[in-house]
Chains A and B, each alone.
Chain A
Amino acid sequence: MTTMAPDAGAQDTTAHEAVFDAAVAAEERIEPRDWMPDAYRATLVRQIAQHAHSEIIGMQPEANWITRAPSLRRKAILMAKVQDEAGHGLYLYSAAETLGTGRDELLDKLHSGRQKYSSIFNYPTLTWADVGAIGWLVDGAAITNQVPLCRCSYGPYARAMVRICKEESFHQRQGYELLLALSRGTEAQHAMAQDAVDRWWWPSLMMFGPPDAESSHSAQSMAWKIKRHSNDELRQRFVDICVPQAASLGLTLPDPDLRWNEERGHHDFGAIDWTEFQDVLRGNGPCNDQRIGQRRRAHEEGAWVREAAAAYAAKHGKATA
């Protein structure tokens, strides 16, 4: 647990609040030992936990292809990527820990369905090209979302995001490069790449969350400088980045309404199927049960290992794994 300032009455809270507000306004970082409003702490724990859970659940759809990677070079890249995601999970659970909530508690909440992870990972990886599409689009969308978090008001989260964003941009480039090789390959490989992009495009756009008008947490998070841009702004930025990249890949994006709007200086794009988004969020996606089932199983089957490490540490007075 981090030390919370002792409760010395309402007056102190007001004084603390003024210091906190001034620090946030001045773009200073809030650190673990600083006073912070309970709601700020809770919002951060919720967001960081969801982010950490997404990293570790996100290992599954790509790990699905490690044993079938079609060249040793691609296999090495993919194993390293999945390993990076585990590392991201570690940094983020540590960041949450600085707010007084440990990894075990957060994992319990994930396993019991009380905390969520990004819905994108409830879609299946059906072909090898999906590994490329995830790198290009899903890591790409994650970067668009996360680069502004490197300036988040909470120090440990902001610093974790700097490291993570660097690695995510590798993943994005590797995914793009994988798709490029397929797109320029045989007819069957090209078709495989196009099919993957067709399936992953719309779910990637949903990664930015509901439209601004319906986003419940946004306003307060913006005021606290946890969030910097609205969902719709980030989504637009992502679309504008992807359109020319798709053209260089020689692949099309599955949206007949996608076109450049001279007046706005942005691409217009078609309506997102928010019914599907809500449906997947509620647990009805193609892989929700499978993903959480595998996570629970790994945790349960690993219980005896963690118990052994703890017992050994207790006997020998050393830290566990």
Chain B
Amino acid sequence: MTDAPVTLGEAPLATAALALGDDALVLSHRLGEWAGHAPVLEEEVALANIALDLLGQARTLLSLAGDEDELAYLREERSFRNAQLVEQPNGDFARTIARQLYFSVHQHLLYGQLAAGDGPFAPLAGKAVKEVAYHRDHAEHWTLRLGDGTEESHARMQRALDALWRYTGELFEPVEGLSVDWTALREGWLAAVTEVVERATLKLPDGPQSGAWTAGAGRQGIHTEPFGRMLAEMQHLHRSHPGASW
């Protein structure tokens, strides 16, 4: 291992593995930030469960593209391929649940397609899709409770859905190396999210699903400002001891 920044192979398989792997890695990290801060003890367990599933997926995926630790700890911000949605800060519990809802429904449908195909990601997706079904269930249940709970929780949940809406479009930008029907993915996602949101007495946001010049940006290595700080924290110790093993 060296401490020189890692550059990526651009083979389609590596590109796809990094897109999926970075989504899982970054969201796992954000969920890990909840440890010791959750609103109720059961959620300490549930959020850690989801974070651990995602971290396991990330490790498998990054290992397809190279050395998992070199990729996680020695890449610069511009080399990460995750969607911007997953790097968004936790905010309050509603914000975290909205992020979970948008992402887990997407991941569940995406992995469902990958598992049904015969591409290189089918075995991994087949295993992960069961984990992700639980993540989705967790997010949907909390969306219902918060949306249809108290006046305050309803308002917070609506604000959270609205604030993160602009990061959802990117989830349906085609990723090289994945054979996926992106149109069907988008339609399935929209139908599922709409159903839950309406059942939760909430409104589907009506703004654009991407920012002015940022459609597909995370996949190109364009991230939002909080991401750099997240990486600084995540990578600091590893980078402080070049070549060390842990």
* Docked-complex contact A181 and B148, CB < 8 angstroms: no
Q: How large is the interface on A (under 10, 10 to 19, 20 to 34, 35 or more residues)?
A: 35 or more
Q: Chain A interface: which of B54-62, B100-108, B116-124, B185-193?
A: B54-62
> Which chain A residues border B93 with CB–CB below 8 Å?
302, 305
> Which chain A residues border B32 with CB–CB below 8 Å?
66-67, 75, 79
Closest CB in chain B relative to A96 CB, distance in Å: 13
State the main secondary structure of chain A at its contact with B. helix
Any A CB within 8 A of the CB of B244: yes
Any A CB within 8 A of the CB of B225: no
State the CA gap A38–B35 with chains docked (Å). Answer: 37
Closest CB in chain B relative to A228 CB, distance in Å: 29
* Docked-complex contact B244 and A79, CB < 8 angstroms: no
Any B CB within 8 A of the CB of A28: no
Any A CB within 8 A of the CB of B75: no
> Which chain A residues border B146 with CB–CB below 8 Å?
305, 308
> Which chain A residues border B69 with CB–CB below 8 Å?
71-72
Please give me the residue from chain A that is nearest to B43 by CB atom.
Answer: A321
Q: Which of B25, B48, B234, B245 contacts A79 (CB 8 A)?
A: B48
Any B CB within 8 A of the CB of A68: yes
Closest CB in chain B relative to A176 CB, distance in Å: 15
27 A-B Cβ contacts within 8 A? A60-B36, A66-B35, A68-B234, A71-B69, A71-B245, A72-B68, A72-B72, A73-B59, A76-B52, A79-B35, A83-B44, A83-B52, A86-B41, A86-B45, A86-B48, A89-B41, A178-B246, A181-B246, A294-B36, A302-B38, A304-B152, A304-B153, A306-B40, A307-B150, A308-B146, A309-B149, A312-B144
**Interface set of A (CB-CB < 8 Å, partner B):** 56, 59-60, 63, 66-76, 79-80, 82-83, 86-87, 89-90, 93, 103, 128, 178, 181-182, 185-186, 188-189, 294, 297-299, 301-312, 315-316, 321
**Interface set of B (CB-CB < 8 Å, partner A):** 25, 29, 32-33, 35-45, 48-49, 51-52, 55-56, 58-59, 62, 68-69, 72-73, 92-93, 144-146, 148-150, 152-153, 156, 233-234, 236-238, 241, 243-246
